[in-house]
Structure 1
Amino acid sequence: MSTSNILRGTLILTVGTMLSRVLGLVYIFPFHAMVGNDGGALYSYAYVIYSVFLSIATLGVPLAVSKFVAKYNALGEYSVGRKLFRSGIMIMSITGVVSFLTLFLLAPYLSPMIIKEGKHSYEDITFVVRMVSVALLVVPVMSLIRGFFQGYESMGPTAISQVVEQLVRIVFLLGSLYFILEVLNGDMTVAIGFATFAAFIGAIGGLVVLVWYWYSRKKNLDSMLEKDPETVELSYKNMYKELISYAMPFVFVGLAMPLYQLIDTFSFNDAMVLAGFTATYADTAFGIINTYGQKLIMIPITLATAFALSLLPAITKSFINGQHQSLQKQLSVTLQILLFLTVPACIGLSLLGGPAYAAFFSYDPLGGQLLTWYAPTAIPLAIFTVTASVLQGINRQKYTVVGLAIGLLLKLVLNYPLILLMGEEGSIVATAIGYTASVVINLWAIKKFTKFDYSMVLRRGFLMTIFNGIMIVAVLVVLQLLEGVVPYSEGRIQAIIVVAVSGLVGAGIYFLLSYRSNLLMYLFGNRFSFLNRQERG
């Protein structure tokens, strides 16, 4: 396939993934309006556990299968990829059924480990976990088909199925919530159960799209198969051994956030009760952090990492071809762009925690307070995501796994004592410490295996720190001036005004300073020509 087609396919997949993520963010606002913090907590209890089971059930299949199929297609051995596809469908079906039955049967035993009965009962948790577990019957098979198409460098089926899956899920989720709560005046637990069941309905929608693509392209795929020289004989044992070697790093990186949330799922409420808080308060705080706060901090992470990750194919190519100087420049620009976009966005979200939470959801002092604490954790999370991808690009994935394991161990060890010491903010601090440890290990591994010099990143990072400091002062001044004029506690419109005015002032000052100092030109000048400016004497 030509380079232009590969780039087109990558663009299609990137746009599809971004659109799917945006949809996954937008629905949370009407969701919160209908179910509030209590419903959000109940939803999160089920979805965090489901996410972990899903990652285990799919075993990193989409990217691993795509890498495996692409390798043998490049050799003209199309039958090897087809052999994997046929057996993989059966294996993914089995893992899906096993995962579904395991989660369904374990639900009553997991419930007492998650909460002390208060606002929600053990039966409530059991019900919503069982409702979401049904999706495990479909998603693993869907993941394998997506990976197969990607191995043929055909990104359209994955992109379109992702968007359809998300759209169908959201329509069913919001529709069922409205019907149960508003029309039937039904029970919150039943409504949340159907909201989690939407994962299954969405997966069916995505699978239908993929099946349609399969039958519409089968003739062309079969014609490739006929040209296969069949010179490679690969046993099932060796085939899956190779596939697993590709898959394991993807499994661990994909599990990063769900595992951090899983630790909170099984320890947060218990630690909060031990710290002297009521079970109801703990339940509310958990929902704010792991459902609503998590969605908001994903905004800067998604935007920044999407831009930085777009440079990774070039990094991989430079590393493979031994182009050391080019590799150093690409790594430096990637990390600088990541810091340039992520740090001010996360700091701004933290400074505007109260009004931002009120603007997106509703006025809630606890929600604003926790968002202020939680937003900065997006910085190490974004750096971890990008550095993990760099290590995959240079074939040093095992250090990502080691770093993640150490970070999770720190989170596990520190979660209880920090919650006992600080309350609900302790959980956030433990998460930040864990991610930071993982980032340090990733950065060390990159330096060790690429001989990367961080001096330019540090120098530019220091300049960005100064600009961020000036931005912080400006935003705090604007917030102080607006406090008596537009009190954000009085309504969503007022909160939106406060966020918009403060955000525009902060972003404007940050970008003006970056432009005047030529930082924007150094980072983006070759992409956006209007940012280039002549030095003035």
Structure 2
Amino acid sequence: MASNLLKGTMILTVGLLLSRILGVLYVIPLYQIVGEKYMALYQYAYVPYSIMLAIAVSGIPIAVSKFVSKYNALGDYATGRKLVKSSMVLMSITGILGFIVLYSLAEPIAQLVIKNDESFFTIKDVASVIKYVSFAVIIVPLMSLIRGFFQGYQHMTPTAISQLLEQIVRILFVLVGAFFVIKVFNGTEKTAISFAVFAAFIGAIAGLIILYWYWKKLKPEFNDLLTSSGNVTSNVSLKEIYKEILIYTVPFALVGIINPLFQFIDMITFNRAMLMIGKTADISNTYLGMLNMYTHKIVMIPVMLATGFSMTLIPLITSYYAKQDFGQVRKSLDQSFQILLFLTLPAALGISVLANEFYHVFYEQSDTGATVLAHYAPVAILFALYPVTTSILQGIDRQKLIILNLLLGILTKLVLNTPLIKTFETDGAILATACGYIVAISLNMFAIRKTLHYKSNMVMRRIFLIMVVNVGMLCLVFIVKWGLEKVFSIDNKFEALLVIIVCASIGAAFYGFVTLRLGLAQKLFGERLTRFTKKIGF
């Protein structure tokens, strides 16, 4: 169990990590090509696009992987194949409908987030980029269906590779297109942003092509499993299949929407709240761009681990739960919570401590931007915990609780956002986001504990130990950073990058040494690490 969880998680994690890093790095040259003000237009398009994508497809890979894994565990490989064959057309229709809806709502959405009399962007500008990005919705539902099918068979590589290739192609189109529009054809920055958001459609086509290649490659294996099972079938009708998929998908469609919806709440309330306290539209747009675009991309890097865990946990927990093997379910939970915090806590806190250097390297030197990043980075821990707790509830068939807890979290964000922004400005939006996630996660954990009678003092002790080691690591990083600042003034990107590399290396070495010496890392990562550490004296 442990090796399957770790192997599947690591495959997805590596792919997602590379994809996430590329998703941050490309902003650096795009920022230089179009400028800070026009990058705000870019995020105005991507937040509603992310919401539509979450509604259309976010639950599909997990729902399909859960469905396929469940019936595969019963020796019924035919039902999963039946699902895929019948769903191809359905997902294509879903994609077209999603495109039509987002394209049609582009102007009403633009009217929600911006006013015509604001100084820089018009409603027409925002509506235009939303229309361009909406084309990607056509492809993604079908792609998500195929990814979910592979994950149900514990094949995580197709998902990881297709996501990585999708990101690479999208970024190349973004940067090359923006460069040619502005530098070669002397076009406007607004046109360059339109090309940049349209790149999501081009990237999706590339991802679909690589998934088709994997389908051709793995189809003989799937056929062998179908034949060796003696064509065992549960005789589940298409109506029953879609009903079961819908039950799985709806909660995770809502789960996938939580982060972009929180951003959308910021979009429709932040500017108005800032105007109420006397801030100009230009300042408000700049601060919102720092929150929803620049810092958010960096903050989400540690969260990719949680995405890998949630995608791997669903089929594993479903399989054990279907067999009524509650011991293995609890072991999965123990391992997941510990490894998740072991890796995400130092990453999130490290970004917070080195926020000034990170913002300088990725964008420019900005005290305001660095402060937003420093305060926002710890929220990544909540971003990481939420999908894992919802995946557990999904795996044990508590979909209604997922929806209820999610809605209460969103309501918390909505109620607190404007008053907190008026009081603390950008920090208020961050605080409202943290409160919303804390409410949803706490309710999820309460439901998990009640349903599975889950309580582990051992996990709590190890989490406390992880926190203590992190405090020690951060103290060391503070000292190293202070010493480096005494040596040079950190006036350019190279010096800022050097500080990040030195501090991160020393911090990681300390963290690794202490956790290995305590035996914590060996207990979390299993026999292979234990054998290796014995050879080097731990």
What's the TM-score, normalizing by structure 1? Answer: 0.87
1:260 aligns with 2:272: no
Task: Quote the offset at 1:462 in angstroms.
Answer: 3.1
* SS at 1:363 equivalent: coil
For residues 460 and 505 of structure 2, the distance between their equivalents in structure 1, rounded to whole angstroms, comes to 27
Deviation at 1:313, TM superposition (A): 6.4
Amino acid at match of 2:26: Y
Counterpart Cα distance in 2 of 1:165 and 1:535:
43
The answer as to whether partners of 1:353 and 1:369 remain within 8 angstroms in 2 is yes
Contact residue 338 and residue 524 of structure 2 kept, 8 A: yes
* Residue 191 (1) aligns with residue 186 (2): no
Q: Secondary structure at the match of 1:185?
A: coil
Comparing 55-64 with 242-251, greater Cα deviation is found at 55-64
Letter in 1 for 2:198: F
Deviation at 1:77, TM superposition (A): 6.5
- Provide the aligned C-alpha RMSD in A: 3.5
Quote the residue 1:179 is aligned against.
180
Given that 2:515 and 2:521 are in contact with CA atoms closer than 8 Å, whether structure 1 keeps it comes out as yes
- How far did 1:354 drift? 0.9
Q: State the alpha-carbon separation in 1 of the partners of residues 223 and 342 from structure 2.
A: 48
Select which of 392, 398, 401 maps to 1:399: 401
Q: How does 1:215-234 map to 2 (within 5 A)?
A: 234=236
Specify whether residues 114 and 226 from structure 1 end up closer, same or farther in structure 2 by C-alpha distance, changes over 3 A only.
same
Q: Tell me the alpha carbon deviations over residues 437-456 of structure 1, each in whole angstroms, 9 at most, x when there is no partner.
A: 11211221222122222433
Q: Does 2:278 match 1:241?
A: no
Partner Cα distance (1:519, 1:213) in 2? 38
Letter in 1 for 2:146: I
Greater RCO (Cα-Cα under 8 Å, separation 6 or more): 2
Instruction: Answer whether contact 1:308 1:337 (CA < 8 A) is retained.
Output: no
Equivalent position to 2:426, from 424, 427, 433: 424
Contiguous gaps of at least 5 residues in structure 1: none
**Cα distance change on mapping 1:534 and 1:311 into 2, 3 Å:** farther
Q: Counterparts of 1:112-151 in structure 2 under 5 Å?
A: 112-116=111-115, 117-151=118-152
Total equivalences in the alignment: 533
Seen in structure 2, the aligned counterparts of structure 1 residues 15 and 358 have a Cα distance that, compared at 3 Å, is closer
Residue 216 of structure 1 deviates from its aligned partner by 6.9
Checking the alignment, whether the CA contact within 8 Å between 1:318 and 1:327 is kept in structure 2 is: yes
Please tell me whether the aligned partners of residues 303 and 384 of structure 2 are also in contact (alpha carbons under 8 angstroms). Answer: yes
Secondary structure of the residue that 2:346 maps to in structure 1?
Answer: helix
What percentage of residue pairs aligned between the two structures are identical? Answer: 45
Q: Which amino acid aligns with 1:140?
A: P
**Structure 2: any 5+ residue segments left out of the alignment?**
none
> Which stretch shifts more, 500-509 or 152-161?
152-161
Q: Decide whether the 8 Å contact of 1:521 with 1:533 is kept in 2.
A: no
Q: What is the Cα deviation at residue 9 of structure 1?
A: 7.6
Q: 1:527 to 1:415 in 2, by over 3 A?
A: farther
The CA deviation string for residues 472-510 of structure 1, in whole angstroms up to 9 with x for no partner, is 33333333333343222x110111122223333433444
For residues 533 and 221 of structure 2, the distance between their equivalents in structure 1, rounded to whole angstroms, comes to 46
51-60 vs 152-161, which deviates more? 152-161
CA apart distance, 1:179: 0.8
> Which one-letter code corresponds to 1:341 in the other structure?
L
Distance, in Å, in 1 between the alignment partners of 2:512 and 2:4 is 35
Amino acid at match of 2:407: A
Q: Which residue of 2 aligns with 1:461?
A: 463
Q: Give the partner amino acid of 1:108.
A: E
Matches within 5 A, 1:251-400: 251-303=253-305, 306=308, 327-400=329-402
Is 1:477 aligned to residue 479 of structure 2?
A: yes
Q: Distance in 2 between matches of 1:443 and 1:5?
A: 24
* Inter-partner Cα distance in structure 1 for 2:426 and 2:387: 25
Q: Separation in 2 of the partners of 1:483 and 1:255?
A: 41
